[in-house]
Amino acid sequence: MTAATPSGMLTLTDSRTGKTYEIPVENGTFRTMDFRQIKVSDDDFGLLGYDPGFLNTASCKSAITYIDGDRGILRYRGYPIEQLAEHSTFLETAYLLIKGELPDRERLDAWTYNIRHHTMTHSNIVKFMDGFRYDAHPMGIMVGMVGALSTFYPDAKEITSEASRKLQVRRLIGKIPTLAAMSYRHSMGFPYVLPDNDLSYAGNFLSMMFKMTEHDYRPNPVLEHALDVLFILHADHEQNCSTSAVRAVGSSGVDPYTAVAAGCAALYGPKHGGANEAVIRMLLEIGSVERVPEFIRAVKAGSGRLMGFGHRVYKNYDPRAKIIKKIAFEVFEETGRSPLLDIALELERIALEDDYFISRKLYPNVDFYSGLIYQAMGFPLDMFPVLFAIGRIPGWLSQWTEHVQDPEQKIARPRQIYLGEEQRDWAPIEGRLKCRTEECVMTSCRL
């Protein structure tokens, strides 16, 4: 919803009581607290909204990211994603998201300097990292390590101090690639690589990931640019699952490291940050272009989903997918064409002409081609959600900053509809229902 939607009054008549209410509508929204006055009796609690998954509930007012899912529009602070992907860098985009405006040269230089000088981690971080099993999932490591950062920076608890908030933002953007690369090198048994502040943000990350014995690692500029653009495309996406987690946990007043660790935890899930990995597994399972029609038939018959297709908000081509598809071809020029690309192109071609997908408005989303690029660059599948997390850090932090400064916000605390037992009295153990008998109602206890 936007401020452009006209304001007015909603007139409601409660058929239970015959009473009529005037509910203000502003920005295409009513306040569900205004429904609390709608009661059937004086001791009635009042009307609640019921919205599992928050399909039709705005949790905040925000000036950061705008999405129009029907028209395939995504803008950060008003700037179309296409323009940022073409002309901006990830660090400049991070500045835009967090501070609200594009920086001039002096500000961008100072911002870049500040981020680069926070890329090192405390040496005790290595001890934490070494404690994880050799096969620990890098995203599980990230959840733990980002949370652990809060113990190194107790000053981060001062969330009402602007100076402290700015410092934690710089630290987090600076350190995330270092932790991410360490999580990969730990799983490979490779020694950790220190940050190289002569390189760009994406270039330094590639160095910390892939540098081996070479004295002077220089990233491939095409891959470095592609990664930077992928970070820009993932930088924010308004109130998605992980951002909502950051805001909800942050609403308790906890430090930003702990709030962002909650974002990492949410992103770990296969329905969110794990879909790009699922696309690669699906393409591998299909195996050849010839088998695509058979796979599409199976999806239509209900035997699974076309991964990387469909989106809760976009009912049109995801604008990020268009940009990523173009980058995929640039990357493959360098790395050689992935045999999976032809399968993906054929899937997309058939799906976009098929009434099943057209009628449900299912189009490629951000994950359809991003996994192919990551794979071509040499990232293992487990690292895909970690790459998503690096890109999303400025989004989480800008949303957290907006949240803690919003005077209307309170601790996140949804209500529920209680459908359980009425009050009943405790019974001695001998008098309770016996397990594994016909009268036992606890069918799920599995004793």
Q: Smallest Cα–Cα separation from 347: which of 304, 309, 303, 315?
A: 309
Is 272 an annotated catalytic residue? yes
Residue of 249, 282, 366, 383 interacting with ligand CMC (CB under 6 A): 366
The stretch among 99-107, 120-128, 246-254, 359-367 that binds ligand CMC (CB under 6 A) is 359-367
Kindly state the smallest distance separating residue 429's Cβ from ligand CMC, in Å.
45
DSSP at 53: G
Extract the tokens encoding 257: 């490291």
Helix and strand numbers, DSSP H then E, in the chain? 17, 5
What are the CA-CA distances from residue 442 to residues 178, 346, 421, 427 (Å)?
49, 50, 14, 16
Interface of this chain with ligand CMC, residues 299 to 358, rule: CB under 6 A: 299, 305-312
Looking at beta carbons only, is 210 or 396 nearer to ligand CMC?
Answer: 396
Catalytic residue among 272, 342, 354, 406: 272
Cα 217 to Cα 203: distance, rounded to the nearest angstrom? 9
Please report, to the nearest 10 degrees, the dihedral formed by the alpha carbons of residues 199, 203, 207, 213 taken in order. Answer: -70
Active site residue 44: no
Residue 275 binds ligand CMC, judged by CB under 6 A:
yes
When asked if residue 236 is in the footprint of ligand CMC (CB under 6 A), the reply is: no
Q: Does 239 bind ligand CMC (CB under 6 A)?
A: no
Task: Name the nearest CA neighbour of 285 among 295, 275, 277.
Answer: 295
Q: Cα separation of 268 and 23, whole Å?
A: 40
Residue 297 sits in the site that holds ligand CMC (CB under 6 A): no
Cβ-Cβ contacts under 8 Å for 151 (sequence gap 6 or more):
none
Q: What are phi and psi of 374, to 5 degrees?
A: -60, -45
Residue 258 Cβ vs ligand CMC, minimum distance, rounded to whole Å: 22
Question: CA-to-CA distance for 127 and 123, rounded, in angstroms?
Answer: 8
**Residue 180 or residue 366: which is nearer to ligand CMC going by CB?**
366
Decide if residue 281 touches ligand CMC (CB under 6 A): no
Residue nearest to ligand CMC (CB): 310
Binding part of the chain for ligand CMC, among 62-70, 142-150, 326-334, 360-368 by CB under 6 A, reads 360-368
Q: Which of 196, 255, 318, 367 is catalytic?
A: 367
Site residues (CB under 6 A) for ligand CMC? 240, 271-272, 275, 299, 305-312, 360, 362, 365-367
Residues annotated catalytic, as ranges: 272, 311, 367
